[in-house]
A = this chain, B = another copy of it.
Amino acid sequence: ADVKKIAIIAGDGIGPEVVAEAEKVLKRTEELFGYQFETEHALFGGIAIDEKGTPLPQETLEVCQSADAVLLGAVGGPKWDNNSKELRPETGLLGIRKALGLFSNIRPAFIFDCLKEASTLKPEVLEGTDLIVVRELTGGIYFGEKFRRETANGQEAVDTCAYNVTEIERIARQAFEIAQTRRKKLASVDKANVLETSRLWRETVNRIAVDYPDVELEHVLVDNCAMQLLRRPSSFDVIVTENMFGDILSDEAAMLTGSIGMLASASLGEGSFGLYEPVHGSAPDIAGQGISNPIATILSVALMFRLTFGYHEAADSIERAVKEVLDAGHRTGDIAVDKSQAIGTLAMGQLIVDAM
């Protein structure tokens, strides 16, 4: 039988709670569809710092490398915020992206009908918003040379932002291909009026564009994009951009949907391997209380089924179950209008498993 290996990284804060519910969904999928999953847990982030002295232990990397996909809960928390760079959860995050070659971060941002009112945007502005931010994830200023030096004006810090044609091409092609499966509109975001990397970005995207004549391409400056996301969010289909701009814009896009607790993301490399995680963070303030919302992590499993395994029927089943449970009025505290009616993490997970 075709057994799929999934590395499970529960991580910190609410990570373990939400991942536990996603694992129940995996089990239920085996029963319902006859698929087979072999899961292996690995330490990562803050807990790995505490137990192994490093955010990304070698054995964790090996577990991921021998898996077909990775499911990640969330990492980080105030406990590790003042650590030195090598002992910070984020350093593990950057390290795992680079080590696994995950050059592309896919962040769908759309509106859940039942959460329309949760956004700070007016419902009529939000109407129809359904976009994907494709963020380059292993290049740019995140991974360029960094150093300090003494100058006549005191210490100076330097970060280097670099992109080569190969890096830009592969992320651009992926974005064009995603756009082809959707509304066929691609917005490439850069700061070509100031940055050399952006000028190379724009040239390369334009050159690649001739291979995708069915996709309508526009170039948007990053400052203008930050505005247009607010003014006309529904007009965007796929947005492709470099690492730092993507970090900012994907968070802005997620927040404006009002559904940030519900959004899943994928980090992909060459081939079908991918790392899947909820967009929300580790929420240390509510960790351990059993009140966190497992839906984004459960939907990350659905995304894994679609993008890595091609299990579309199972993905449909999960997404339909989530919708059904929400339509029936069940809410965790973060999305409940009447907090006194809110259900816990376990109850929400069980309802979704039952509805599959």
A-side residues, CB < 8 A to B, are: 88, 90, 94, 120-122, 125, 141-142, 144, 146-148, 151, 153-167, 169, 191, 193-197, 199-201, 222-224, 226-227, 230-231, 244-245, 247-252, 254-256, 260
Contacts and interface: CB of A to CB of B under 8 A. Distances in A.
Contacts of A141: 141, 159, 161, 194-195
A154 to B, nearest CB: 3
A158 B252 CA distance: 26
Given A222-B247, A222-B248, 14 more contacts: A90-B193, A120-B230, A141-B161, A153-B166, A154-B165, A156-B163, A156-B200, A157-B196, A157-B201, A223-B250, A226-B252, A227-B252, A227-B260, A230-B255
Contact of A159 (B155, B161, B165): B161
Secondary structure type dominating chain A contacts:
helix
Contacts of A197: 157-159
A231 B252 contact: no
A7 B145 CA distance: 42
Contact of A199 (B157, B165, B230): B157
Contacts of A251: 223-224, 226-227
Contact of A194 (B142, B195, B223): B142
23 contacts: A120-B231, A121-B121, A141-B159, A141-B194, A142-B194, A144-B158, A146-B195, A153-B164, A153-B165, A154-B165, A156-B162, A157-B199, A159-B195, A159-B197, A222-B248, A223-B248, A223-B250, A226-B251, A226-B252, A227-B252, A244-B244, A245-B248, A248-B248
A264 B193 CA distance: 22
Nearest to A144: B158
A229 B201 CA distance: 28
A159 B193 CA distance: 13
Contacts of A142: 194
A248 B245 CA distance: 9
A249 to B, nearest CB: 7
Report, nearest first, the 8 A-B pairs whose CB atoms are least far apart.
Answer: A154-B165, A153-B166, A157-B200, A146-B196, A156-B164, A227-B255, A153-B164, A226-B252
Nearest to A250: B223
Nearest to A256: B230
A249 B231 contact: no
In this complex, which of A148, A155, A157 has the most chain B Cβ atoms within 10 angstroms of its Cβ?
A157
Contact of A148 (B94, B151, B196, B255): B196
B160 A158 contact: yes
A146 B161 CA distance: 10
Given A88-B193, A191-B244, A254-B227, A157 B162 contact: yes
